[in-house]
Amino acid sequence: MIQHAPVLIIIIPLLAALMNLIVGLWRKRLCYLFTVAALGTCVFLSVAILDIVAGHGTITYKLGGWPPPWGIAYVIDHLNAFMLVIVSFISLVVAVYSKVSIEKELPEKIIQFYTLFLLLVTGLLGILATGDVFNLFVFLEIASLAGYALIAVGDDRAPLASFNYVIMGTIGACFYLLGVGYLYIATGSLNMADLSQLLPELYDSRVVLGAFAFLMVGVAIKMAFFPLHKWLPDAYTHAPSAVSAFIASTMTKVGAYVMIRIMFTVFKPYFSIEVIPVTAILGWLAVAAMLYGCIRAIAQTDVKRMLSYIIIAEVGYIVMGVSVGNRMGFTGAILHILNDAFMMACLFLAAGAIEYKTGTRNVHNFSNLYKKMPVTTAAFTVGGLSIVGIPPTCGFFSKWYLVLGAIDSQQWVFAGTLLFSSLLMAVIFFKVLVNIYFGSQPVSGAHSIGGNGAVVMDEAPLSMLFPICIMAVGILSLGFFSGKIISSVIQFTVPGSF
C-alpha cells in the first residue's frame, strides 16, 4: 500500500473534506476529530514518502497506469518530499489549534470551515506532488479557491480583502495557464520531465520565452513577490487566526516551490541564469522586497498586519537565495522555506492566542502581557528572535547560508541588505517585546509581588497552547539539526549544475 502514498496523500484529505459534510450533518463535533485524523495520516504518509525518496531516490507514480507524457504522473523527489512533510505537519498542528479559536470566531460554520481547510490542504499537497504543469494549475486553483473562502469568513473587513485576493489570484492563475498553453503549443507536452527534455532546443523561440514570462509572473502573484504583493497584507490580516496561521506559513512557500520548479526543473538552470537573466532581475526585486517588507512592518500597530509585511520580506529572502545561483544560496533558500514556515506558524498562532484571550491585535495593548500569558509570549519571543536571526534559533542558520551564498557570488548588496533587514526586524520585534515584558503601565501589585506574575496568569486553552509550544520547540530544535537536515535532504535538492 505504501507505494501508493503519493496519490493517497492527496486523496485522503479530499475524501475527508467531503466526508466532513456528511459527518457534519450527523454530528458537528466529529468534524474536528475527523480532520485531525486525516491530517495525521497525511503526516505519516509524507514522512514515509520522504523516507522512500531518501532511500531509493525519485518516485514516479502514474495515474491510471498511463505512462507519461500521456497520463498524469506524480513525480516526487527530495524537494517535494521535503515540502510535503512541512505542509502536512503544519496543517496538522494548525488543525489541532483551530478547535477552540474556530468555535469562538465562527461558531455556526464549523463544518464548512473544516471542509474548506481540508480542501486547501489537498490543493497544496497536490501542487507539491504533481509532475504535470496543468494538473499543478488545477491544484493551485483548488487551494486558492479554498483560501478565498476561508479568508472571507474572517472579521468584517475580510470580504473586501478576499475579493481583491480573488481578482489578483485569478490574474495570476490565468497567466500561469497561458504560460502552460504556450508550452503546450511549443512542445505538445505537459509533463515536467518531458518538457525539460523537449525545451532546450526551443530556448530561442519567442513562444517559449513568452511562456516563461507568463509562468513567472503568474507564480510571482501567487507567492506575493514584491511588486505583486498588494493583496497579501489585507488578506492575511483579516482572516481567522487559524487560517492566517496556516496560509501565511505555507501558501507563499508553496508558491516559491513552484517558482523553483519552473526555473530549475521545467527549464534548465542555465536557461534561467544565462539565456535570460531572470535570476538577476529576481535578485534585485528580492532586495527591494526585503527592504519594503521590513520598512512597512515597522509602521504597523496591528500585529498580524506587521507579520504579513514581514512575510513579504521573507519571500524576498527565499527568492534572493535562489537567485544568487550557487549551492550555498540555494541551500539557504530551501532551509529558509522550512524555517520561515515554522516561524510564521509560531508567530501567527501566538498572535491568535493573544487575540483570543485579550481580544486585541494592537501591539500597544500588549503591555505586561507576559504576566498574563507567559507561555504564549515566550513562544512569540522565540519566533521573533528567530526572525531577527539570533542563534541558536533556526532563523540564524538559513540567514547564514543565504549570506554566504550572496558573498560567494560577490553580491555584496544582497548580503548587506539581508543583514540590514535583519536589523530592521530587530527594531520591529524589539518594539513589541519591550511592550510585552516592560509594559508602560505595570500590572497593579506587580511591584510588591515581583516578576513572574503567577497571580494574574490567564493562559490560552491547552489545545491552543500545545501547538504553539510545538512550534517554538521546533524553531529551537531545527536550529540545532539544520546541519543534519541539509546533509540528509536539502543537498540533494540543489540543481546539479550549481
Partner 1 sequence: MEIMDFIISKYNYWMYIIIMMIGFYAMIAKTNLAKKVVGMNIFQTAIILFFISTASKKGATIPIIQHGHGEAADIIHAAQYMNPLPHVLMLTAIVVMVSTFGVAIALLIMIYRKYNTLEEDEILEILKIENGR
Partner 2 sequence: MIRDFEGVIIKTVCRLITPVIQLYGLYVIAHGHYSPGGGFQGGCILAASFILMVLAYDIKEVKKRMSEKINTIFCSLGVIIYAGIGLLCLILGANFLDYSILHKILPADPAHSRSLGILGVEIGVGFTVMAVLVSIFLNIASGGEHEEGEER
Partner 3 sequence: METAVIYSIKPLLAIGVSLIAALLIFLTGERSRNLRESWTILASVIKFTIIASMVPSILAGNVIEYTVISIAPGLSLQFRVDALGIFFAITASFLWIITSFYSIGYVRSLKEHAQTRYFICFAIALSATMGVAFSANLFTTFLFYEIITLSTYPLVAHKETPEAMKGARKYITYLLGTSIAFQLFAIFLTYSAAGTLDYSYHGIFNSVRGHGVSDTFLIITFILFMAGITKAAMMPFHSWLPAAMVAPTPVSALLHAVAVVKTGVFVVVKVVLHIFGINLLSQLGLGTALAYFASFTIIVASIIALRQDNLKARLAYSTVSQLSYVILGVALLTPSGITGSIMQIVLHAFGKITLFFAAGAIYVTAHKTRVSELDGIGKQMPFTMAAFTAGAISMIGIPPLGGFLSKWFLGIGAIEAGQIPIIIVLATSTILNACYFLPIVHRAFLKEATDSTDKNSSLVTRYSSIKEAPALMVGALVLTASGAVALFFKPSLFLDLARMVAASVTGVN
**Residue 469: phi, psi to the nearest 5?**
-65, -40
Among 51, 141, 408, 459, binds partner 3 (CB under 8 A): 408
Question: What is the Cα–Cα distance from 329 to 319, expressed in whole angstroms?
Answer: 10
Out of partner 3, partner 1, partner 2, none, which partner does residue 21 contact, by CB within 5 to 8 A per kind?
A: partner 2
Among the listed ranges 7-15, 35-43, 143-151, 437-445, the one in contact with partner 2 (CB under 8 A) is 7-15
Residues 453-472 that bind partner 3 (CB under 8 A): 454
**Chain residues in the site for partner 1 (CB under 8 A):** 134, 137-138, 141, 145, 148-149, 152, 156-157, 159-160, 162-163, 166-167, 170-171, 173-174, 177-178, 181, 184-185, 190
Among 14, 85, 145, 337, binds partner 2 (CB under 8 A): 14
432-438-441-442 Cα dihedral, nearest 10 degrees: 140
Among the listed ranges 9-17, 267-275, 345-353, 425-433, the one in contact with partner 2 (CB under 8 A) is 9-17
Does 21 engage in binding with partner 2 (CB under 8 A)?
A: yes
Using the minimum distance from each CB to partner 2, give the nearer residue, 22 or 447: 22
Question: What is the Cα–Cα distance from 199 to 281, expressed in whole angstroms?
Answer: 22
Query: Which grid cell is 137?
Result: 494549475
Using the minimum distance from each CB to partner 3, give the nearer residue, 92 or 485: 485
Short-list 255, 356, 369, 239, CA closest to 304: 239
Using the minimum distance from each CB to partner 2, give the nearer residue, 70 or 480: 70
Out of partner 2, partner 3, partner 1, none, which partner does residue 4 contact, by CB within 5 to 8 A per kind?
A: partner 2
Q: Strand ranges (DSSP E) for 273-412? A: none
318, 355 Cβ separation under 8 angstroms: no
Among 2, 9, 22, 95, binds partner 2 (CB under 8 A): 22
Using the minimum distance from each CB to partner 1, give the nearer residue, 162 or 398: 162
Q: What sign for the dihedral angle of Cα 285, 244, 218, 221?
A: negative
Among 4, 451, 456, 458, binds partner 3 (CB under 8 A): 451
What is the amino acid identity at position 195?
Answer: L
Out of partner 1, partner 3, partner 2, none, which partner does residue 178 contact, by CB within 5 to 8 A per kind?
A: partner 1
Minimum distance, C-beta of residue 456 to partner 3, in the bound complex (Å)? 14
What is the amino acid identity at position 273?
Answer: I
Minimum distance, C-beta of residue 300 to partner 1, in the bound complex (Å)? 13
Out of partner 1, partner 2, partner 3, none, which partner does residue 227 contact, by CB within 5 to 8 A per kind?
A: none
Helix axes 278-299, 412-437, angle to 10 degrees: 20
Question: What is the Cα–Cα distance from 425 to 145, expressed in whole angstroms?
Answer: 32
User: What count of other Cβ atoms lies within 10 Å of the Cβ of residue 107?
Assistant: 9
Residues 54-113 that bind partner 2 (CB under 8 A): 61-65
Question: What is the Cα–Cα distance from 437 to 369, expressed in whole angstroms?
Answer: 7
Out of partner 2, partner 3, partner 1, none, which partner does residue 2 contact, by CB within 5 to 8 A per kind?
A: none
Q: Count of residues binding partner 2 (CB under 8 A)?
A: 16
Cis peptide bond N-terminal to 461, omega within 30: no
**Residue 360: phi, psi to the nearest 5?**
-130, 150
Residues 373-392 that bind partner 3 (CB under 8 A): 385, 388-392
* Cα separation values, 460 from 339, 353, 361, 436, Å: 25, 6, 15, 16
Return the half-sphere exposure (C-beta side, CA atoms, 13 A cut-off) of residue 15.
10
Among the listed ranges 46-54, 92-100, 143-151, 408-416, the one in contact with partner 3 (CB under 8 A) is 408-416
Does 207 engage in binding with partner 3 (CB under 8 A)?
A: no
Does 30 engage in binding with partner 2 (CB under 8 A)?
A: no
Q: What is the DSSP string of 410-427?
A: T-HHHHHHHHHHHHHHHH
What is the amino acid identity at position 216?
Answer: M
Does 138 engage in binding with partner 2 (CB under 8 A)?
A: no
Question: What is the Cα–Cα distance from 423 to 434, expressed in whole angstroms?
Answer: 16
Using the minimum distance from each CB to partner 3, give the nearer residue, 199 or 388: 388
Consecutive H or E run containing 60: strand 59-62
Using the minimum distance from each CB to partner 2, give the nearer residue, 7 or 198: 7
Per-residue binder mask for partner 2 (CB under 8 A), 466-495, x = binder:
------------------------------
489, 78 Cβ separation under 8 angstroms: yes
Minimum distance, C-beta of residue 8 to partner 2, in the bound complex (Å)? 8
Out of partner 1, partner 2, partner 3, none, which partner does residue 152 contact, by CB within 5 to 8 A per kind?
A: partner 1
Binding site for partner 2 (CB under 8 A): 4, 7-8, 11, 14-15, 18-19, 21-22, 25, 61-65
